[in-house]
Structure 1
Amino acid sequence: MNTKAIYAACLFAALNICTLSARAEADVAHETYTYGSHPDIRKVVSLSEDAEPACGVVNARLTYLDSQDQSHVLDYRKFSDNCTSQN
């Protein structure tokens, strides 16, 4: 086998893995945080927020695993990370 075929096979395998993980994320239902809710968070997978250049309240998203390793996405509002240097 030549090296081009090996590289192509590795690239194809990597793209398939990325596609499967994106599909798994798309299948997860999005929940919106409400005051007083108690989500079952065992492990935080990722945190993200809207890209706002100024200090203020932005939309944020928490992706986490619960105690039974089910993936969840929680949408909530928070102060931007850009607010850290302002009073």
Structure 2
Amino acid sequence: MKVLLVLALSSLCATAMANEAPTDAAQQQPVVEEYTYSTHLDIAKVVSMSDVPNVCEVVPAKMEYDDSKGQRHILRYSIMGNGCTN
């Protein structure tokens, strides 16, 4: 009987610890920063950039990069689409 109780409690603890792992990973995600003309950019390495759509208007874009200290950042900015002919 005691063995069953210990097994039940240990499986409950393992499940609780498994549920905590995604929240730790979610907290490590960088906050999306909005670009302004006064934003100081410290870009050491560009990790990824969003694709620019084929439209003739201003569209939002994102860039993920590492700074000189190795911290990951996500920057949201506006860019002109690739669909303009002139």
Do both proteins adopt the same fold according to a TM-score greater than 0.5, normalized to the shorter chain? yes
Unaligned runs of 5+ in 1: 1-19
Distance of aligned partners of 1:49 and 1:59 in 2 relative to their CA distance in 1, 3 Å threshold? farther
TM-superposed deviation, 1:27: 1.2
Which residue of structure 1 aligns with residue 40 of structure 2? 38
8 Å contact 1:49–1:59 — kept in the other structure?
A: no
- The percent of aligned pairs where both chains have the same amino acid is 42
Larger Rg: 2
Cα separation, 1, equivalents of 2:65 and 2:32: 11
Deviating above 3 A after TM superposition, structure 1's stretches of 4 or more consecutive aligned residues are none
Task: Output the aligned Cα RMSD.
Answer: 2.3
Which residue of structure 1 aligns with residue 73 of structure 2? 72
Which residue identity is paired with 2:72? S
Q: In proportion to residue count, which structure has more helix?
A: 1
Which residue of structure 2 aligns with residue 8 of structure 1? none
Deviations 1:58-80 (A, max 9, x none): 00001000001110000000101
Unaligned runs of 5+ in 2: 1-21
